[in-house]
Structures are given as structure tokens and as C-alpha cells.
Amino acid sequence: MFACLHLHDLADIHQARLLDLAGVFSPRVEAAAPDAVVLDLEGLERLWGSPGELAEAIERRARDSGFPVRVAVAGNPEAAVSAARGFPGVTVIPEGEEAARLAVLPIGILSPPPELAETLARWGIRSFGELAALPEAGLSERLGPEGVVLRKRARGAGDRLLAPAAAAPVFRERLDLEHPVALLESFSFLLARLLGDVCASLESRGLAAVELRLGLELEDRSQQERSLRLPFPMRSPPALLKLLQLDLETHPPGGAVTAVTLSAEPAAPRLLQQELFVPPAPAPEKLEWTLARLARLAGEGQVGAAEVLDTHRPGAFRMKRLESIDAARRGSLPKPDGPQRLALRVFRPPLEAKVEASVGRPSRILARGLGGEVTASAGPWRSSGEWWTADPWTRDEWDVALGDGALYRIWRDRRKGGWFVEGRYD
């Protein structure tokens, strides 16, 4: 037997509450429609009594909770839903009597498609009983499969299986420690245990983690949270442990830890097929450790791929994460042959310089670590831009060769004054 809880005044919060209410009575609950949930009553007799008593109990509980519902019990989910929508209060339909009891209900309860509803109205079919009385073959011929399904529902027949609503799985583990742990090395053992549990849980559902959140409760009752966004879904405990260790070494807890919570954001695992003719690349997990270690060595934001910005401002670039190596490599093609470009080694920040000029051209330069007579020069090349922003730039550039043969690019700031060495050609 199946019971249906139907709510007239529909709202999202109510459907969630309906599901909660139904979950109190049966472990198998289906969200059949936005306004109805269906319970499987199989095996609940010893706990709640007869289906009628159970339906009364549900109705009473809902009324006490402040949202009165209609409850109907029938031999299949479809009949239960129709009865709950059609009859007020509590309705119990014994198995086999569905067609007779539902016959008086108006056809609108079945929510037929508008064209079908219009056709049925033209035929003068207004109730379940009238629709159920029509011959199946003729209905199929005139209305197609939809008409047959509608007739079946009007007769209170149905053999579909319940699709129970499953709560979204939570991948979260917590560990309360008897003694505060201050050393990262000892803490790693605890992390390994939590990660093992979380990864096993992910694996059992065919999922992987795309983000790890580590919550730490410290001895001074403060809380600290770290979030580790992974570039692709992973579920290998050793790889994740190394990444967490590296993150904790960079951002150590502010004190001894008394409780740890580790949660994972699930995602479908990455499926990757190696290509035959693509040169080998760093293994994704290993690349992540390497990037994390390099970031610890060089500093945050100092490791990644460079992206030249779409602006005329000299030297404009930004660092971005070395994202997906596979995607990057698929897009690239061999470059056509061309002349080799002269490289510039940029001084960051530009070196302030003292420049002596003769007949309008630099004749001598002095800056930190370099200086001398200018033996050859080209310029000035004037450029400016972003005058509409708070940080405009305008400058005169020169390429100069010094006595030792080294070539430099220097520039004069036309707005603030002053000379700078931008870099050395090499």
C-alpha cells in the first residue's frame, strides 16, 4: 500500500517539510510532484498499525505542525496521488476498489496536456469514471499513448516502482582530540585518517573531491578554516594529504588543535585517456604537489602561467594558475618559422637612472648596477595611454648601447619626470 500527502497551498518550504514529515513515518519517500509526496507503507503495520491508523497519525501530525494536508492511502502511488488531490481529509481506498472510488473525481486532477484536455472536453468526458469507460484501443488510435496512460490513471491502475528521494550525501568527517595537537607532523596522521574515510566514502559513490575544507578548533576556542580548491576532481588520499600538508605548512594553525573537521565537495571524477602522439606531461597529482611546493618556495602568486594583458601599457601581464595542461596542449599547433625575436630582460621595478643628454639625446647613463657612455641610441619613441583612468602613462622610450656593448631600453616619464631603465636586451 502507498500513502500520499497532498498540500493545497504550495510553497518550496512546504514541500521540504512534507518530505521531512513523511520521512518520520517511512524510510521510503518519493517526491511525486511539487504538491505531493508518496510513502511506501510496506512493513509499517507493526509500527504504526493499519494503513488507516497510519493515515490518521500523519494527518494529525501535520495539523499539529501547522500545515494541514490531505492524506490518501491506495494500492499504487498513482491512485494515492489522485485520491489525495481529489478527496479532503483522510481517504483510505482498499486494494482493488481504486477505479470505483476514483470514478467521481474530475478529470482536471490528472493534469492532462491542454490539447488532450480540450479534446476530452469536446467529447463530454469530465470525470475519471467516464474516461475509464472508454475503450483502450479506440483511445490509443485517437489520442495516442498519452491517452492510454491517462485512462490507466483514471482507472486507478498503476504498477510503477517508487523512486525514493535520497538525501544528498555529505562527505564530512570530524575528530575530537583528547589532547591538543600542536605539531604538524602529528597532525598529519590525523588528517590521513580523516582523508581515508572521506575518500572511501567518495569512492563508494563513484565521486571525487573538487574542494576540501578543513575546519580546525584550537585550544583557545577559536576556529580556523582552510579551503583547498582542486584543479580537477581527485580522490587519492596520499595526493590530497600532501596538498593539505603543504597548505598547512604555508598557513599553519594559530595554536594547538583540539578538533578537526574535514569535508569534501563532491564532483564526478575526471576520465582521461592518454593520447599516443602527445609528449608526456607531468602527472596531474604530481604537478599539483610541485606547484604547491614551488609556491611555498617562491611565494604566493609567484608561480604559474603568464598571460599578456590586452592593453598597450608596457609590461602588462598577470599571473594565472597553470590550469589544465591537457586543454592547453590540445589547442596548440607548431609555429611557422620566422625570424628569431630579440628578448628583453625586464628590471622589476624599473631602475631609476640619471641620464645626461647632449643635443637632445642621452649621452651618459648612471643607474644601480650599470652605467657608462652611450655609444649609440635610437629614439625617442613616444607612447601614452589610459589618460581616462587614475593611472595614465606617457613616456619617451630610447634604445641605447653602452660602451661595454650592452643594450638597454630606457624611458622618461613625461608626466612625473625622471628617467628609468626598463630592461636589458639579451
Give min distance, CB of 295 to another protein, in A: 9
Site string for another protein, 339-378 (x = CB under 8 A): xxxxxxxxxx------------x--------------xxx
Give min distance, CB of 337 to another protein, in A: 8
Nearer to another protein, 15 or 290 (CB): 290
Q: Taking the CB of residue 368, how many other CB atoms lie within 10 A of it?
A: 10
Contact status: 145 vs another protein (CB under 8 A): no
Grid cell at residue 36: 505531493
Give CA–CA dist 188/150, Å, rounded.
61
Contact status: 66 vs another protein (CB under 8 A): no
Number of residues counted as binding another protein (CB under 8 A): 62
Q: Which helix (H) or strand (E) holds 398?
A: strand 393-402
Q: Return the range that interacts with another protein (CB under 8 A); candidates 59-67, 70-78, 118-126, 328-336.
A: 328-336
Give min distance, CB of 247 to another protein, in A: 16
By CB under 8 A, what part of segment 297-326 binds another protein? 297-299, 302-308, 315, 317, 319, 322-323, 325
CB-CB contact of 363 with 374 (8 Å): yes
Grid cell at residue 219: 585550544
Q: Return the range that interacts with another protein (CB under 8 A); candidates 47-55, 150-158, 215-223, 296-304.
A: 296-304
CB-CB contact of 208 with 235 (8 Å): yes
DSSP 338: -
Give CA–CA dist 79/116, Å, rounded.
20
Grid cell at residue 336: 611557422
Contact status: 281 vs another protein (CB under 8 A): yes
- Strand order of the β-sheet with 223-234 is 171-181, 257-267, 208-218, 223-234
Q: Taking the CB of residue 211, how many other CB atoms lie within 10 A of it?
A: 14
Nearer to another protein, 271 or 333 (CB): 333
Q: Taking the CB of residue 236, how many other CB atoms lie within 10 A of it?
A: 14
Site string for another protein, 384-403 (x = CB under 8 A): ---------------x-x--
Give min distance, CB of 357 to another protein, in A: 14
DSSP 384: E
Contact status: 379 vs another protein (CB under 8 A): yes
Give CA–CA dist 377/359, Å, rounded.
12
Grid cell at residue 215: 575546519
CB-CB contact of 154 with 146 (8 Å): no
Contact status: 414 vs another protein (CB under 8 A): no
Binding site for another protein (CB under 8 A): 278-283, 286-287, 289-291, 293-294, 297-299, 302-308, 315, 317, 319, 322-323, 325, 328-329, 331-335, 338-348, 361, 376-379, 399, 401, 404-407, 423-426
